[in-house]
Structure 1
Amino acid sequence: MQINVLHMAHLAIRYGAEKQLLDYLTLAKSTSSEIRHHVCALRISKPIYEELNSLGIPVITTRLWPWNIFSFLNFAKKHDIHILHVHNQLRFPLRSRILPKLAGVPLIIEHEHGMVWNTSSTQLIKWTNKLVNANICNSHAAKIMLERKCNIDAKVIYNGIPLPPEQTEAPAQLKTELGLSETTAIVGFVGRLNNPKGAEAFIRMIPKVIQAVPHTAFIVIGDGPMRSSLETEAKVLGINDQIYFLGYQKNAYHLMKQLDVVVVPSFREAFGNVAIEAALAKKPVIASNVDGIAETVIDGKTGFLVDCTEPIQRQKGTNSLPKAVVDGRTKELRSPKLPNTEILAEKVIHCLQTPELAVTLGNNAYARAVQEFSLERYCKDLDNFYRELTHYK
């Protein structure tokens, strides 16, 4: 029996949930299986459309409102769709639940990648829960949020991260490019410069680290609406000579391999792909003890988790703050806070001053990432879930 799956997602950028879907589809194309994939793109960029086209995946582009339900219905009938797999559309039950059922889609899976934290229209979600045949989420923290906010019971399938390809040419030498000496340690932040990522905590810990380990440089890989304010704060703290804002970098992984420590100070994070990418680069991670990050980092074995105690001030033009997050220690809901910058700095200093410990943590992190967070494992888990749902043997 062939299983036809239609993935519904925003595909304007290759980032987060979108990247996870595209990585999965790429691997699925190279794997022999009875599962055939199709895409309903709510929005799509030209490069991603061309990428899907090169994989031979049929695509329909529609926002799926009542007035264009017939094009969706015709596409679903033409390709004999058995499962609609909806990615990160919890806030839009009309699009993700009601209209697909009216179009006759037999089975609906909703996949939570982080939207539930900022979801407020929970009553309509609860009223239409029965239209969904199954729910998936990418961490136990997301499972807790779905249960508490929406009365949804979900199956946890952790994200899968592809092993980075080997660099075919000599990698750029970061220290040489930045004019740093070979003995200078480098501590890095990787992520979008928007408030959930907590980059301000990274900036604020730097003076404490410099005091203990003066020959340390700090890099920020990523861009976003907070970049200007973060650069200003660095100047106010008098650290702008030791911090480098590199902007978005396509080769972030190869830069990460040249770091000594990676800091993940998010105050809300459904899973925490950066922590796994750092693990694949064999780097220790110092991270917030919150949400899914507390599941990607084992405190004292693959890195360190830091409790969140410091208040957050939302900046204009950034994402709204969630009312609650999942505390990594207690697994209870609490208000969002930044990680304690004093302890964040202490853990970074500890890794820099005991490099043999940093190597051990990085090796442990790599071994765990390959075993538990591989893209192959994710593909296998998801495919088996499709089979269970359709009773395919």
Structure 2
Amino acid sequence: MLKVLQLIPTLDRSGAEKQMVMLSKDLPRDRFTVEAAVLTRSGPLEAELTAAGVPVTSIAKRHKVDPWALGRLTRFIEAGKFDVVQTWIFAANAYGRIAAKRAKVPVVVTAEMAVDLWKGPIERYVDRKLATSCDRLVGNSNAVVDFYMGMGLPADRMEMIYSGIADEPPPADVDPAAVKTEIGFPPDASLALFAGRLAPQKRVADLLKTLDLLQHVQPDLRTAIVGDGPLRSTLEKLAVQYELSEKVRFLGHRDDIQRLMAASDVVVLPSEYEGLPNVVLEAMMLSKPVVATAAPGTTEVVVDGVTGLLAPVGNLPLLARGLRDLIRDPRRARALGAAGRERALADFRADAMVARFADLYERLAAAKGLRVVPSRSAAT
């Protein structure tokens, strides 16, 4: 049985964190024991890990460059005698790979969850330098794998495993009219939903400009913006400038995202780049149509005209047209949503994602001479 540590900066409700929690909870317990650690601080998703019996440890990194946190992390990994350490997101990827190497962990896996165009020369240097400190770098889409190979990372250390989404029942007894009224909209309004971090990558300013274009041609459209981030105050001011105060609500972090999504008519994602957007998978599983930009990563999930509508990044008139067309044609919106659910079930199931990571851990462990418990499917 392999002992696995999952390391991530925080346990906020974001895409990478959701994937890590899902993986930690669902790895087969007859083959793996699992712990989690947060590099900086915890968050609301810790409750899910605790309920699943996954211990969570905080390393309490306090500074951008924090050698004391690196020392604590190294000692924690040494004491835990982990067979596998998997790291998620840049800070944990950097600290985790260094600490795991110092602690002589047999198998180190790094997860990359986006086409990280934000990374500058320093971050790219760190990634290239640490590439040999992990056995595999796993991208959650072909776009992510191609991006990191383009940075010069060795192809023999790359692997692609799509993010997964659980087939959970939709929230029960959701009254769309009541939800819209609760967040301050008319009960008969058409509702678009954005959910994500309010950061430059997501291009929420483009969404607000798009909504400005639609004010007069689709006056019944209202938009809920779920999430928080460094651009929130700037975006709120921009909404006022566009006279969207009555048509847009900034809801911050919410624990009822599925309920809000169930009440929505369309989910919108105007990002510049993604990895494999979790919010799109969630929308597809709930049979919600998606209007998005043709960003790297998103195009591997949304099939234009089949499971949703795509517009080139920054093409606001086409993004506006997509929203308008689906609001005006509910039959088409339902058809796209139904096709999206079929695709999510066929290609992005959570159990498939977990099985591929489990297989990866065991292949790498066996290559290092560790004893691996055969899976029940392999035994039969």
**Which range, TM-score by smaller chain?**
0.7 to 0.9
For residues 146-161 of structure 1, what are the structure 2 equivalents within 5 Å? 146-153=148-155, 154-161=158-165
Matching of residue 296 in structure 1 with residue 301 in structure 2: yes
Deviates more, 1:117-126 or 1:133-142: 117-126
For residues 22-61 of structure 1, what are the structure 2 equivalents within 5 Å? 22-28=21-27, 31-45=28-42, 51-61=48-58
Q: Number of aligned residue pairs: give it.
A: 355
Q: Which residue of 1 aligns with 2:3?
A: 4
Kept in 2, the 8 Å contact 1:164–1:253? The answer is no
Distance of aligned partners of 1:188 and 1:179 in 2 relative to their CA distance in 1, 3 Å threshold: closer
Distance of aligned partners of 1:390 and 1:220 in 2 relative to their CA distance in 1, 3 Å threshold: same
The amino acid across from 1:11 in the alignment is T
Q: Which residue of 2 aligns with 1:280?
A: 285
Q: Which residue of 1 aligns with 2:224?
A: 219
Structure 1 residue corresponding to 2:201, chosen from 196, 202, 205: 196
- Cα distance in 2, alignment partners of residues 125 and 181 from structure 1: 49
Kept in 1, the 8 Å contact 2:24–2:35? The answer is no
Matching of residue 97 in structure 1 with residue 103 in structure 2: no
The amino acid across from 2:142 in the alignment is H
Q: Which residue of 1 aligns with 2:186?
A: 180
Structure 2 residue corresponding to 1:367, chosen from 328, 334, 342: 342
- Could you tell me how far 1:12 is from its partner in structure 2? 4.5
Kept in 1, the 8 Å contact 2:14–2:196? The answer is no
For residues 73-92 of structure 1, what are the structure 2 equivalents within 5 Å? 73-77=77-81, 81-89=82-90
Q: Which residue of 2 aligns with 1:313?
A: none
- Could you tell me how far 1:147 is from its partner in structure 2? 0.6
Structure 1 counterpart SS, 2:151: helix
Structure 2 counterpart SS, 1:118: coil
CA deviation map 1:254-282 (0-9, x unaligned):
11112112110011222211111111221
Deviates more, 1:226-235 or 1:360-369: 226-235
* Runs (5+) with no aligned partner, structure 2: 62-67, 367-371, 375-380
- Could you tell me how far 1:3 is from its partner in structure 2? 1.6
CA deviation map 1:47-90 (0-9, x unaligned):
6556544433344443575644662354233xxx2212122247
Structure 2 counterpart SS, 1:225: coil
Structure 2 counterpart SS, 1:110: strand
Deviates more, 1:157-166 or 1:138-147: 157-166
CA deviation map 1:279-308 (0-9, x unaligned):
122111111111111111111101111112
Distance of aligned partners of 1:61 and 1:75 in 2 relative to their CA distance in 1, 3 Å threshold: farther
Deviates more, 1:348-357 or 1:294-303: 348-357
Deviates more, 1:134-143 or 1:66-75: 66-75
- Could you tell me how far 1:357 is from its partner in structure 2? 0.9
- Cα distance in 1, alignment partners of residues 159 and 43 from structure 2: 33
Kept in 2, the 8 Å contact 1:69–1:99? The answer is yes
Structure 2 counterpart SS, 1:301: coil
Kept in 2, the 8 Å contact 1:135–1:152? The answer is no
* Runs (5+) with no aligned partner, structure 1: 309-338
Kept in 1, the 8 Å contact 2:115–2:147? The answer is no
Kept in 2, the 8 Å contact 1:88–1:114? The answer is no
Q: Which residue of 2 aligns with 1:358?
A: 333
Q: Which residue of 2 aligns with 1:117?
A: 117
Q: Which residue of 1 aligns with 2:244?
A: 239
Kept in 2, the 8 Å contact 1:90–1:110? The answer is no
Distance of aligned partners of 1:224 and 1:151 in 2 relative to their CA distance in 1, 3 Å threshold: closer
Structure 1 counterpart SS, 2:215: helix
Give the TM-score, by structure 1 length: 0.81
CA deviation map 1:311-368 (0-9, x unaligned):
xxxxxxxxxxxxxxxxxxxxxxxxxxxx211110111111122221111001001111
Q: Which residue of 2 aligns with 1:332?
A: none
Distance of aligned partners of 1:254 and 1:66 in 2 relative to their CA distance in 1, 3 Å threshold: closer
Q: Which residue of 2 aligns with 1:322?
A: none
For residues 299-338 of structure 1, what are the structure 2 equivalents within 5 Å? 299-308=304-313
Kept in 1, the 8 Å contact 2:6–2:85? The answer is yes
Give the TM-score, by structure 2 length: 0.84
- Cα distance in 2, alignment partners of residues 167 and 237 from structure 1: 34
Kept in 2, the 8 Å contact 1:282–1:359? The answer is yes
